Every structure is written in structure tokens, then in C-alpha cells.
Structure 1
Amino acid sequence: MKIAYVLPRLKYSGMTRIAFLLATNLAKTCEIKVFYFGETSPSEKILNFKVPVQKIKFTEFCHELNDYNIIHSHGLKPDLYIYLNKNKINATTITTIHGYHIEELSYDRGLIFALIFGNIWNFACRNLDLAVCISQTMEEHYQKLGFNNTKTIYNGIQVPIVNRTFNKNNISNHSNRDYLKISTVSILNKRKGVEQIIKLLKINKNCYLIAIGGNEKDINRLRNLANELGVINRCNFVGYKENPWETAIHSDVFIFPSRSEGCPLALTEAAALEIPILCSDIPTFREMFEEDEVTFFKLDDIDDLNQKIIKLNEIKTKVIKAKLKVKEKFDVEQMCRNYFQLYSRIN
């Protein structure tokens, strides 16, 4: 079987990591090539695919795509490209929908942009042969929008390799090491809801935040809020790290306060590493984990968040079950098997 993956860029991100894992694992039995549109800036991490890659132009159809049985796109630009050229394509066309298009675009680009391009994006995905959703909650959402070409396949992860002997004191640049250390790992944009943790610091003087990831714009936005609330001395905005779990593994609790998610890799990676988890009570997380695996708090209810973190010992008792859930449901090999079976069935 010959499979072509079409990506916006080769930049390291949750979306491209899924394509990377699929390409790496399925290359053992399939012929695979990755096509992409844009270059990655020098300051961004590039995913080094172990299969051939080729840059293509959005304005020109790449006829080589017709050498493949399956064309699998990820992201707005690739989905639009495949839809616009569908009458030239002989292969089966598949997209993986990684989030809630209109909602996510509204956080990044504003409501007007989101309504226009989110609906165009939905139209394109609705007219491909298959749209894979990464949670059942997401599939139900898109079916309500008129999609009749959906299937659910959960994202899978490889358990991160970490050095557990790392000096715990190094995760804080503050002279007092006795705080309850909170870690979070994400792109830190508004959708990720990290401002809720900063507001928690205002009412709980015992907490210290280590925020890993994010670009300069979002880090500055959160830093300004921390300054306004007078808690900047208990915030450490680490920025990008090659392996964020080398730091997060030594925190007391991992908080994932997102407002909207598909099937986040960071949440499952934290669970796989047995880090106690406190996450926002949104439908996706309720689908992924049970009450005896992670602890939920009400979105934007800082008092509830505080009451939950006070019961840290209770949160810690759930880590083994959370780890087992990841192994059973979010394993990378299982994800790749599911996609391979899907490709084989529709090819």
C-alpha cells in the first residue's frame, strides 16, 4: 500500500507528531511519502521524518499524489488543497480532524476569521472520503454539522523517556523550594486556559507554576497577568524544551486547564509517567479518563480548582489507573493498527 501524508509544515506540533508516528510505524509495511507546503523557521523544531519528504505549492497540483492509494491530510491548508483538487485525485482521501475548527480558530485568529474559514474548512472535510475524529465527543460534534463520513480513532503516544534522577530543585528558579509545584505543558495560547492557574496562585500562596512551552506572545500575555496579580515571583515560564517531561516529572501535580481539546498528547503523556493530574471538566477529558484516574475541576471556577489541589494526596492515588488507561486506550501501536486497518478496508 502506498500512502501520502500532506502537512502544512514539518514543524514539531501535536498534529504533525501523529503523522510522524504513523509514517514511522507504517513504513515497515507500506510505501510512504510526506508532502508539505511551508518552511519551518530556524527557531522552531523540525520533525525529522524517516521517510521521503517533498515541498509542494498550494497553487499547483502535485501529480505525484496520484501514485498513491491513500492521501491523508492534516490541517486547514492540506485539507483545502485536497478538496480543491479532488477531481484530479484517483486515491482515497482522508483527513484527521485534530480539533474543533471554528472554536480553535476563534482563539487564534478571532471570531470573524473563524466563522469564515472554519466553515470553509468543515465543508472541505465533509466532502473528503473519510474524516477521522480523535474522540467520540468530537465525532458527535461533527455529525451534528452534517458530516456523514466520520470515524473515531484515538491518538496514541510513545511513553516519553525521562531521567528521574534529575535534580528536583532545578525546576524552580526561586530561592524557596517548599512550594507545591504545578507543571503544565502546552502551546500556552488562550485555548489552553493557563491563566486559571495564575489566578489560583493569587488565592493559594503555597503554589508555584512551571509553564513549559509557548511562543513569546503567549508567554508575555501570561507573564503580564502574573505581574498584575502580584504572583510573578511564583511563576517560571520555561519556554520550549526538547523534552518537557524531564522538568514536569518532578512537579507535584500536572494541571491541564484547557477550554477545548481533541485528544491531547500532553495529557496522556503525563498520565503515562504517573504524574498526578488535575484537568478541566470538559467532555473530551471525561471521555478519556474516569474520576478514579484523574481529578476534574470546573472550568473558570478558581475556588473549585483550589479546593481540588488542596486534596493533592487524593489526586496522587489515581496515577496507576491513569497509566493503565493510557496503555489500554492511547498506545501508539494500537493507533497505528487502527489506521492501517482503516486504510486496508477503504483502499
Structure 2
Amino acid sequence: MKIAFILPSLINKGPVIAVNNLIKFLDSKVEVVDVYYFDEVKTPLPFKCSVRKIEKNEPIDFNNYDIIHSHTLRADLYLFKFRNKIFSSKIVSTIHQDTFTCFKIRYNIIVAFLLTSFWIRLHKSFDGVITISNDLERRYKRFLPKKITTIYNGCSIDNYQISDSLKTSILNIKERGFKVLCSYATITKGKGLSQIIEVLEQLDDFAYIIIGEGPYLNELKKLVDKLILNNRVFFFPYIPAPYSYLRFIDVYMMPSYSEGFGLAMVEAALEEKSIVCSSIPSFHELFSGEEVTFFNLNDSRSLIQAIKLAFIEKTSKGKRAHSKAKLVFTSEIMAEGHIEYYKSLLNK
């Protein structure tokens, strides 16, 4: 089997990380895996296969592949544009998020409706569509009947060299007597990180580390200044493999308003961390209340109780979350699921 992946870039973010994790185990199981991408980035993820930059109007040798799998709107649009040149390959896309909810948070309800409708129209021309949760499949199945299936994302934890300075910074926070909460993400409003900052006033013995960059970062910094929490909220820029630093923190925070899957949460589980996450359908699908600690969105009392409980039960919940992640959410399991799905498309 020959497979091509179309990506917007090789940036270290959700969909690209998922494809990278997939290829780590897919590469040895098929004849060819190639990755094509549009934009250069400062620190690209290293891929275990051939990678090539292309222009959005530059066709590749589509019919050299059995499967062409695109990720994100730009990549889907690229395949849609050249659909009439693709004769022998099956084209597949993955839905990584509840697009309507995410666009509504970022823009407004009208823009969300228009963009989501447009994206669904593109997907109708594809041979197959993968969602990364049953919740997403339920939401989109009525628009894409008989084309859609669920394959969970998988994670692999690699041994990255860590920065001594960052490690020292985190340990210094702990030495000051603080229990350490942590989140890492592309920082957008939808990640819900402001909820943690807002309750920190009532949690004097906790500090909060935020790792990452994004369009909502300055708003979070303004909130920290307003609440005079500069001595307990710490911002660190983007770093490769942020999960490498989870061993130094106490509780991982995932307060998102909407997520297709929750890749960082699974990484935290694989590192045996106690996790606090928002009570949204996609997170309940991944873990139970025995494995993570849920809180109700925009409910400060619920969040404070969850943080305290997650710290008290950090060892037991970390172990239970780890067992679940190893059983269901590894990169190898994800690769096996994709191979079986690709075969089913080719046999139709």
C-alpha cells in the first residue's frame, strides 16, 4: 500500500502531531509513506518518512498512491481542487474538531455556519472521512452517511532531551511550597485557560504553568496582571515535546470548551499524571471519573473542588489514567486502525 499525507505544515500542533504519531508505526507496515506540506515553520516536527514542500496550486503525482489522506481545511481544499485528476487513488480526510463550535468561539455563529457548511461540502467528494471520537461521528454522520468512521488518535512518548533551565524554573516554583498545575497548548480562547487563572485567587498554595504560544496569550497575561498573580502564574514559550516536563508537575489541566480528542490529556495520562478536565462529551468518551477529575465549565466552585481532589488523588488517578491510555490510545493502535480502514476503502 502506498500512502500520501497532505498537511498545512510540519508544525508541532494537534493534527500534525497526530499524523506524526501515526507514521511512526505506519511506515514499517506499508510500502510507501510520503508527506506533502505547504508552509515552512521555524521548528518542524521530524518525520519518519519522505517529506516535500509543495505549493497550493502544484499537483503531486496523485495516482501513484493508493490512499491520499488530508488533514485540516487547507489540505482538504487542495484535494478538492484536483479531484478530477485523481482516478485510481482513494482520498480520505480526518475531522479533528467540532468545526462549528470551534469557529463559533473564534468568530461568530454566522461565520461558523458558513465555514462548517463549506467544509462538509468538500468532504462529500471524498471517499472516506475519519473522526477522532464517537461524539464527532454522531455530530457529522447525518451530513456524511456511509462515509464516516471513528479512529481514536494515538500518542507515543519519546525520550527528548529536556532544558535544564526550564526544569530548574519548575523545581524552583515547587521549592517555594507551591503545588504545580500545568497546561500546554496553542493558546486560543477555546482552550479555556483563563478559568484556571480566575480561580487561582482562591487557591493560595497552587501555582500555574502555561506552556505555548497563540493568539490569546496576551489576553491571559493581561488577566494575570489584573488579578496580581504574577508570582503564581508562569508563561513559558513553545518547546518541543512539552510532555517531557510533566514529571515535574502535580496536576495537568485541560479546561477546553471544545476538543475533538484531547491529545495533550492522553500524553499526560501516559506520563501517569493526575488530570483535571472540563466536563464535555469528547473527554467523557476518553476517560471516566475514576481516571480523571471533571469540572463544569464556567463554574469556579466545581473547578476548585476538582483541583483539590485531583491533587489529593494524584497517585491513584494517574495510574488509572495511564492504564486506560496504554490500553486504547497508543500510536500503534491508531496505526492498526488506519490500515484496516484503508484496506476497507480499497476493497470497495
TM-score (norm 2): 0.91
Contact 1:181–1:207 (8 Å) recurs in 2 = yes
Contact 1:155–1:265 (8 Å) recurs in 2 = yes
Contact 1:126–1:147 (8 Å) recurs in 2 = no
Map of 1:22-41 to 2, 5 A cutoff? 22-28=22-28, 29-40=30-41
Give the Cα separation in 1 of the matches to 2:189 and 2:106. 8
Contact 1:105–1:113 (8 Å) recurs in 2 = yes
Aligned residue in 2 for 1:120: 118
The structural deviation recorded for 1:114 is 3.1
Give the Cα separation in 1 of the matches to 2:70 and 2:85. 16
1:137 pairs, out of 117, 132, 135, with 135
The structural deviation recorded for 1:246 is 3.4
- Higher mean Cα deviation, 265-274 or 174-183? 174-183
| Residues 63, 231 of structure 1: alpha-carbon distance in 2 compared, 3 angstrom cutoff | closer
The structural deviation recorded for 1:111 is 4.5
Task: For 2:193, give the aligned amino acid.
Answer: V
Task: Find the residue that maps to 2:100 and give its secondary structure.
Answer: helix
| Residues 21, 37 of structure 1: alpha-carbon distance in 2 compared, 3 angstrom cutoff | same
| Residues 172, 234 of structure 1: alpha-carbon distance in 2 compared, 3 angstrom cutoff | farther
Aligned residue in 1 for 2:10: 10
Map of 1:90-109 to 2, 5 A cutoff? 90=87, 91-109=89-107
Aligned residue in 2 for 1:66: 63
The structural deviation recorded for 1:147 is 4.2
Aligned residue in 2 for 1:190: 189
Aligned residue in 1 for 2:288: 290
Contact 2:22–2:154 (8 Å) recurs in 1 = no
Give the Cα separation in 2 of the matches to 1:10 and 1:162. 18
Give the Cα separation in 2 of the matches to 1:79 and 1:126. 11
Task: For 1:309, give the aligned amino acid.
Answer: I
Give the Cα separation in 1 of the matches to 2:160 and 2:65. 38
Give the Cα separation in 2 of the matches to 1:305 and 1:338. 35
| Residues 176, 53 of structure 1: alpha-carbon distance in 2 compared, 3 angstrom cutoff | closer
The structural deviation recorded for 1:305 is 0.8
Map of 1:105-254 to 2, 5 A cutoff? 105-161=103-159, 170-171=169-170, 177-215=176-214, 217-254=215-252
Contact 1:173–1:236 (8 Å) recurs in 2 = no
The structural deviation recorded for 1:287 is 0.4
Contact 2:13–2:186 (8 Å) recurs in 1 = no
Task: For 1:76, give the aligned amino acid.
Answer: L
User: Runs of 5+ in structure 2 lacking a partner?
Assistant: none
Task: Find the residue that maps to 1:232 and give its secondary structure.
Answer: coil
The structural deviation recorded for 1:38 is 2.0
Give the Cα separation in 1 of the matches to 2:199 and 2:158. 28
Contact 2:273–2:314 (8 Å) recurs in 1 = no
Task: For 2:101, give the aligned amino acid.
Answer: E
RMSD over equivalenced CA pairs, Å: 2.3
- Higher mean Cα deviation, 302-311 or 239-248? 239-248
Contact 2:12–2:240 (8 Å) recurs in 1 = no
Aligned residue in 2 for 1:342: 341
| Residues 80, 256 of structure 1: alpha-carbon distance in 2 compared, 3 angstrom cutoff | same
Task: For 1:341, give the aligned amino acid.
Answer: E
Task: For 1:38, give the aligned amino acid.
Answer: D
The structural deviation recorded for 1:54 is 2.2
Aligned residue in 2 for 1:314: 313
Q: What do the CA deviations read for 1:89-127 (whole angstroms, capped 9, x no partner)?
A: 121010111111122233445555433322211211233
Task: For 2:85, give the aligned amino acid.
Answer: K
The structural deviation recorded for 1:226 is 1.0
The structural deviation recorded for 1:35 is 1.4
| Residues 248, 175 of structure 1: alpha-carbon distance in 2 compared, 3 angstrom cutoff | closer
Give the Cα separation in 2 of the matches to 1:161 and 1:318. 23
| Residues 48, 168 of structure 1: alpha-carbon distance in 2 compared, 3 angstrom cutoff | closer
Contact 1:9–1:38 (8 Å) recurs in 2 = yes
Q: Calculate percent identity across the aligned residue pairs.
A: 33
Task: For 2:7, give the aligned amino acid.
Answer: L
- Higher mean Cα deviation, 330-339 or 300-309? 300-309
Give the Cα separation in 1 of the matches to 2:200 and 2:79. 46
